[in-house]
Structure formats: C-alpha cells, structure tokens
Amino acid sequence: MADICPRIKIEYQDEATIVEFTDDKILEEKDIRDLDKALSAIIGQATGINMILDFSNVKFLSSAVLGMLIRLSKRIYENEGQLALCGINPKIYEIFKITRLNKVFDIYKNIDAAIDRLAE
C-alpha cells in the first residue's frame, strides 16, 4: 500500500476490521483526503463491514476529520455495516461532545470494548 499520511495500521479480525491511526496528528487536508480514500477502499471490499477506528495515538485532529468521519459513517451504514470509534483522547472527546457527535458515533474506551459491542 502507498505511504498514507497519517499512517494507519489495519488488522482484520473475525468480528471487525480495526484501523489504528499511528500518527499523533491528523491535520493536513491532503492527508485527510488520502485517509478518506484508503478507508473508503476498505469499506468497498465487503458489504456489512464492522469497522473500528482506534484513535489511541491521536492527540490532535482538524475539524475536517470530523466531516470525513460523518461521510465514512454514512457509507458504512448504507452498506449495512457498523462503525465504532475508540481510544479518543479526552481533549478530542470534548470536541465530540460540543458538536454532539458523541451522540452520532458509537464511542468506546478501547478496542476490546468496541469488539464486544460489534460482536453482539
């Protein structure tokens, strides 16, 4: 796979496809577009994908990432899949609360909690 910035690590499990962001910042518009393309390609591989986005390493992100997450979520749900977010830094989580996106997304403390929920 091409060098995607921010870099991601993908793990396929029976219950879910786990995407871990390995950079601590997701800020640049070009990087977000590249990330959107990479995640869209993963979603396009199968109907009914269960995807977990792990933000454990991320300390900063731009508001454009929130828009990307909304678009990504829409595509996943249109393909009868599920999306869960986990490992969100408390300061970033405050942004989710202010924008009420914590009501839109299923957000969990860690990967294990997200997997448990998606496996139900």
* Rounded Cα gap, residues 59 and 68, in angstroms: 17
Model confidence pLDDT, tens digit, residues 84-96: 999 999 999 999 9
Q: Domains (ranges, CATH) in the chain? A: 8-118 (3.30.750.24)
Q: Which residue has the higher pLDDT, 76 or 44?
A: 76
Task: Check whether 69 has a pLDDT greater than 70.
Answer: yes
Average pLDDT over residues 1-28: 83
* Rounded Cα gap, residues 41 and 63, in angstroms: 22
Model confidence pLDDT, tens digit, residues 19-60: 999 999 999 999 999 999 999 999 988 789 999 999 999 999
Structure tokens at 62: 């731009």
For the chain, give the mean pLDDT.
91
DSSP three-state, residue 50: strand
pTM: 0.91
